[in-house]
């Protein structure tokens, strides 16, 4: 008799050079819970093929955004719970058990986001990681968040159906997903224990700056509908002010990281580059604000 799948683990993949490490970490989980693994996307390196008997690979004919890949994975999933991990991450051995336990501890509708850790060998990659995941590092205390990143996420299928899928933007889809969940009174629960190690393939300054600009350009904070919900400061509600005061805004993020989030001292050497990354984010963000303003004036 075939055991009913309890959990579906979905991995969006676009030619990740370490997707095999991601799959290995998921298949090696210390759990008795029955689960399936679904990889969605493209794999020019052929790293997924050797797991063909253990996973389901949904190949796409062309590159698709990560949100679209996750949505496609859910359509193939049979589990009661949906877990997401990115193809540049390695799951900790009890990742599934820890996520699942958090869902069992409450009767309230929740989405769970886990902690993010990363190696420190490459300065640029480390600064990139800290820039985007300083709120979700493993030293951060558990609690309710306004946003959860999609690289380490779990929810029940019932909640997935309530919220709907991810949007198809190249970036910022997890912020949009989080806000739609919050609007339906679903708590966004962060816990550092179900941890993944994030290993992005960004190790050059140019890669970091392009990534920051794109993230700013696709931030939903540029949408006035989210300004009050996300407590977007006045300076970020105008494209000119976003550019003019970008150093001040970047300094504000750094101050928050050091004072409230208690960034460990061993990471302080990345602060100058994190500062630059946040300024570049403001430039991408201001471009989106300016586009929205021009478009509204034309209507």
Chain mean pLDDT for the chain: 94
- Shared domain for 171 and 277, answered yes or no, is no
Residue 41: closest CA among 62, 17, 71, 27: 62
Q: What is the pLDDT of residues 190-238, one digit of tens each?
A: 999 999 999 998 889 999 999 999 999 999 999 898 898 888 999 999 9
Task: Write the burial class of residue 283 (CB in 10 Å: 0-12 exposed, 13-18 middle, 19+ buried).
Answer: middle
Q: Are residues 245 and 212 in the same domain?
A: yes
In 132-284, the DSSP E strands lie at 143-144, 152-156, 187-198
Same domain, 215 and 176: no
Q: What confidence score (pLDDT) does residue 296 get?
A: 72
Report the distance separating Cα 140 and Cα 195, nearest Å: 12
Helix (H, G, I), strand (E, B) or coil at 41: strand
pLDDT above 90 covers what percent of the chain? Answer: 89
Please check the confidence at residue 2 and state whether its pLDDT lies above 60: no
- 166 and 276 in a single domain? The answer is no
What is the rounded CA–CA span in Å between residue 222 and residue 286?
A: 8
Instruction: Please identify, among 198, 226, 258, the residue that sits at the C-terminal boundary of a domain.
Output: 198
**1 lies in some domain:** no
Q: What angle do CA 51, 52, 56 make, to 5 degrees?
A: 105
Same domain, 28 and 160: yes
Per-residue pLDDT tens over the stretch 83-141: 999 999 999 999 999 999 999 999 899 999 999 999 888 999 999 999 999 999 999 99
Provide CB contacts within 8 A for 109, sequence distance 6+.
156, 158, 159, 162, 184, 185, 186, 187
Same domain, 98 and 214: no
CA–CA separation, 152 and 86 (whole Å)? 7
Residues 187 and 44 in one domain: yes
Instruction: Look at residues 142, 171, 198 and tell me which one is the last residue of a structural domain.
Output: 198
Q: pLDDT band for position 1 (50/70/90)?
A: very low
Torsion region of 140: left, alpha or beta (phi above 0 gives left; psi -120 to 50 gives alpha): beta
* Strand bridging mode 110-117 / 152-156: antiparallel
Dist CA 208 CA 127 (whole Å): 9
Domain that holds residue 246: 205-298
Residue 210 lies in a domain: yes
Residues 149, 71 within the same domain: yes
pLDDT range class, residue 271, cuts 50, 70, 90: very high
Last residue of a domain, one of 198, 217, 241: 198
Q: Is residue 269 part of a domain?
A: yes
Number of structural domains (the chain) is 2
In a domain, 2, yes or no: no
Q: Could you tell me the CATH number of the domain that includes residue 134?
A: 3.90.550.10
Query: Are residues 166 and 239 both part of a single domain?
Result: no
């Amino acid at each position: 008799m075939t055991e009913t799948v309890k959990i579906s683990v979905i991995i969006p993949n676009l030619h990740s050079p370490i997707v095999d490490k991601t799959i290995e970490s998921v298949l090696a989980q210390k759990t008795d819970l029955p689960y399936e693994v679904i990889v969605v996307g493209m794999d020019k390196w052929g790293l997924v093929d050797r797991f063909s008997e253990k996973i389901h690979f949904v190949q796409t004919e062309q590159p698709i955004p990560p949100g679209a890949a996750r949505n496609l994975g859910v359509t193939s999933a049979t589990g009661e719970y949906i877990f997401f991990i990115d193809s540049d991450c390695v799951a900790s051995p009890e990742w599934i058990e820890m996520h699942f336990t958090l869902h069992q501890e409450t009767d309230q509708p929740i989405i769970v986001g886990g902690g993010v850790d990363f190696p420190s060998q490459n300065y640029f990659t480390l600064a990139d990681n800290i820039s985007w995941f300083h709120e979700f590092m493993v030293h951060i205390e558990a609690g309710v968040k306004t946003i959860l990143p999609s690289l380490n996420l779990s929810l029940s299928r019932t909640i997935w159906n309530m919220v709907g899928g991810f949007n198809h933007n190249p970036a910022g889809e997890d912020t949009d997903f989080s806000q739609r969940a919050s609007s339906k009174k679903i708590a966004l629960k962060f816990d550092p224990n179900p941890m993944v190690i994030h290993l992005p393939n960004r190790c050059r300054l140019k890669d970091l700056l392009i990534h920051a600009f794109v993230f700013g350009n696709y931030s939903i904070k540029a949408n006035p509908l989210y300004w009050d919900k996300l407590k977007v400061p006045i300076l970020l509600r105008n494209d000119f002010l976003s550019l003019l005061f970008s150093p001040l805004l970047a300094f504000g993020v750094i101050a928050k990281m050091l004072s409230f989030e208690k960034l460990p001292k061993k990471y302080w050497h990345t602060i100058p580059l994190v500062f630059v990354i946040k300024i570049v984010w403001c430039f991408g963000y201001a471009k989106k604000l300016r586009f929205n303003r021009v478009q509204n004036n034309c209507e």
